[in-house]
Amino acid sequence: MMDGADDVYLMEHPDSTEDIPVLDIAPYIAGEPGARERLSKELGRISETVGFFQLIGHGLPQSLIDRMFGEARRLHLSPLEKRRTIKNIGRGTYRGIEDRPNISLNQKPRLNSSFNVHREYPPDHPMNDMSTVFRYPNAWPDWLPGFKENVLEYYDRGEALGRLLLPLWAAALDMPVDYFDKYFVDPHITTTLLHYPPQKVMGNRQYGIPPHTDNNFITILAQEDVPGLAVEMPSGHWRIVEPRRGAFVINSGNTMVRISNGRFKSTRHRVINIGEHDRFSVPIFFAPDLEAIVECAPTCVTAENPARYPPIRYEDLFYWHQYSEGARGFEQKAVGPDVKSEGLWVPAQDAK
Ligand SMILES: [Fe+2]
C-alpha cells in the first residue's frame, strides 16, 4: 500500500523529456488543399507513438471555454449541502470529494469532485429509461441560473468538434473519410466538470485520478491554468501536460485500440494536483453509440496480423471497463470475459 520514496518523488517531479505533440487543424478547417491528408498522417504518427496531443486551431472560442471553467468553479465551490441536493443517479451525476465512497478495492478515494452530463433527451426518451447505468436522465444543480444552458451549449460545440475530427481519424487508418459515421449516429458523449483541490500528501496510493486508460474513442480535455495531468510517455517515464491556453488535450482511448487492431495507443495518464491552487478541468468523453458494434477496421487486419479483438457492443465494452476499475455496483452484471483477458485494461488497484 505504501509507495517508496523514489515513487513519491517522481509523483511530484515527472521526469520524461519527451514532447507532447501539437496538432494545428486550422488549415483543415479552412479547407486548404492537402491539409486533410497531411494532418491525418500526422495524427496517425501521434496515435502510434504518444497517444496524446495538444489540439490548436480548432475554432472554439476561448470565451466559451472560459465560461465552462467559470461554471465548474461556481458548481464545485458551492456549499456541500447545496451540491448534495443533486440527485445521485446513474453515471450522470455529481460525486463529491467529501462524501465519495471508496470505489476501488485497494486505493484511496479519488481526490476530485466530478459532475457528469450526457445528451439531454426528452423525459420519455428510451435513453432516460434507467434500464442500465448509462441510460439515466441528467440531474442539474437548480440553484445556479444559466448553468444548464451554458453546459449544454458547450456539450453541443464539443460534440461538433469531435465529429469534425472523425474524417481525420478515418483517413489515418486508410479508411474512407465517412467510415466512422456508423459509430456516431447518436453517440454516448459525457461532458464532465472536474475540481481537484491541492493534494497535500504524496504517495500511499492517493491520486486526483490514479493511472488509467480511457475507454472512449477520444477524450477532448480543456484544462484551465493549474497543471496536474501527467502522461506515461513511450520511454515509460511520466510527463506533465502543461496547460496551454486555447488548446485541447486529446488522447485516443481503448475503443480506438480495438478499431485500429492495436495500431493506435490508449495511453495511461493520471492527475495529481501538486500545486497550491484548485485545479478545474473539463473533459469531453467522446464515444460511439451504446449500440455501436466496435470492430477492427478492415485496413488494420491482414493474414499476418489477424483481428486481436472480437466485435463487441460499445455499451458492453464500457461496462467491462468500469468493472475492471473496481467501481462499486458494476460487479453483478459483468459481460464478455474475453474482454478482460485481453490485457488492455489495468485494474486501478494494480496500477501504480
Ligand atoms: Fe482519463
Residue with cell 513519491: 8
Residue 325 pLDDT: 56
Tell me: the pLDDT tens digits for 203-256?
777 788 888 889 999 999 999 999 999 999 999 999 999 999 999 999 999 999
The domain 5-331 is placed in CATH, from the list 2.40.160.20, 3.40.50.300, 2.40.30.10, 2.60.120.330, at 2.60.120.330
Rounded-to-integer distance, Cα 351 and Cα 34, Å: 42
Query: What are the sequence ranges of the domains in the chain?
Result: 5-331
Residue with cell 453515471: 91
Name the band, by pLDDT with cuts 50, 70 and 90, for residue 201: confident
Compute the distance from residue 214 Cα to the ligand 1 centre, in Å.
5
CA 131 to chain centre: 24
Residue with cell 517531479: 13
Name the band, by pLDDT with cuts 50, 70 and 90, for residue 89: low
Summary mean pLDDT of the chain: 87
For residue 329, give the nearest of 339, 319, 338 by alpha carbon. 319
Compute the distance from residue 324 Cα to the ligand 1 centre, in Å.
14
Residue 92: pLDDT over 90? no
Compute the distance from residue 34 Cα to the ligand 1 centre, in Å.
32
Rounded-to-integer distance, Cα 311 and Cα 293, Å: 6
Compute the distance from residue 33 Cα to the ligand 1 centre, in Å.
34
User: What average pLDDT does this structure show over 273-286?
Assistant: 95
Compute the distance from residue 213 Cα to the ligand 1 centre, in Å.
6
Residues 6+ apart with CB under 8 A from 149: none
Name the band, by pLDDT with cuts 50, 70 and 90, for residue 100: low
Compute the distance from residue 269 Cα to the ligand 1 centre, in Å.
6
Compute the distance from residue 161 Cα to the ligand 1 centre, in Å.
19
**E-assigned strands of the chain?**
22-24, 52-56, 94-95, 113-117, 189-196, 209-212, 218-223, 229-232, 238-240, 248-252, 269-271, 279-286, 293-294, 312-313
Tell me: the pLDDT tens digits for 306-318?
999 999 999 988 8
Residue 90 pLDDT: 63
Compute the distance from residue 164 Cα to the ligand 1 centre, in Å.
21
How many H helices and E strands in the chain? Answer: 9, 14
Compute the distance from residue 247 Cα to the ligand 1 centre, in Å.
17
Compute the distance from residue 231 Cα to the ligand 1 centre, in Å.
10
Name the band, by pLDDT with cuts 50, 70 and 90, for residue 159: very high
Compute the distance from residue 145 Cα to the ligand 1 centre, in Å.
29
